[in-house]
Chains A and B, each alone.
Chain A
């Protein structure tokens, strides 16, 4: 006997992601899923961004890490609501992990929620968590071959921030190659060049962000 199924295999995650999205929309929260390799500077970007926004937007952060609370402590010291998720080994956040902590956030008082995914260029791109936008941070010291080596993450991202631009002179990296390859994977991707260390390019990024959220 043949039984028709026609069900997406990751349907359970998609269903919870859609629930999350409804909750965010009802509360008027814009949600960004921030992805990168370990050490690209996700938490530094959030620190810079929160300071630069200087309360122009009411921000909160969910930190995803395999272990530890260092990131949440850094963000918490800036006076914004923060929740640390420890995945205990899982290499990405999924919709259910987000769903479980939503009750701990003052959603009605938040305009922008950053979800800092686990540092990894592969798996986070596979799982929707209910975000409005996926974005990616690539530190230029990782090399200009990354878009073509990890295509899905670039394909899924609406914005790409190139960090550590202050180190460009010490590398053989071609920014043009990164941009060209990223745009061939995601033609409408918005690209920013910044340095979280020197502050270069931060205001261009936050100006764009404010317009996107408001």
Chain B
């Protein structure tokens, strides 16, 4: 989807938080990205490296925690976790009434600053 604008948002949010905390350089930024968020991590890293130049994140690396899709099935009652980006039925019983709890994350968790 919009990896460049997402990378730009990451830099803006991180820079603001860095300055607010009284530091002047960002060394690394940790992101949580769900498998079903629609973000291509390679494209995001590429865009980040291109956009970070001349910002306080110029020397920063991005660490991505990929969050798998998980949820609970209303049919068999079991929790499930899957490698797939989309769940069409409960991986345990094939039931169709399930609730997805994780996998859509798109957030900055924390960062290292100096």
Contacts and interface: CB of A to CB of B under 8 A. Distances in A.
B66 to A, nearest CB: 15
A1 B23 contact: yes
A9 B111 contact: no
A8 B107 contact: yes
B17 interface: yes
B89 interface: yes
A129 B6 CA distance: 17
Contacts, number: 72
A5 B110 contact: yes
B110 A3 contact: yes
Interface of B: 1-2, 6, 9-10, 13-14, 17-18, 21, 23, 29, 31, 36, 38, 86, 88-89, 96-97, 106-114
Interface stretch (A49-57, A80-88, A166-174, A180-188): A180-188
A3 B17 contact: yes
Interface in A97-129: 122-123, 126
A11 B6 CA distance: 11
A2 B111 contact: yes
Interface residues of A, number: 24
Interface string A1-22: 1111111111110000000000
A151 interface: yes
Contact of B10 (A9, A181, A183): A9
Interface of A: 1-12, 122-123, 126, 148, 151-152, 155, 181, 183-185, 187
B13 A10 contact: no
A191 to B, nearest CB: 15
B88 A185 contact: yes
Nearest to B110: A4
Contacts of A11: 9, 13
Nearest to B36: A152
A185 B89 CA distance: 8
Given A126-B38, A184-B88, A185-B88, A7 B110 contact: no
A12 B8 CA distance: 12
A81 to B, nearest CB: 30
B96 A5 contact: no
27 contacts: A1-B21, A1-B23, A1-B112, A2-B110, A3-B18, A3-B23, A3-B110, A4-B109, A4-B110, A5-B29, A5-B108, A5-B109, A6-B107, A6-B108, A6-B109, A7-B13, A7-B17, A7-B108, A9-B9, A9-B106, A10-B9, A10-B106, A126-B2, A148-B88, A155-B86, A183-B96, A185-B88
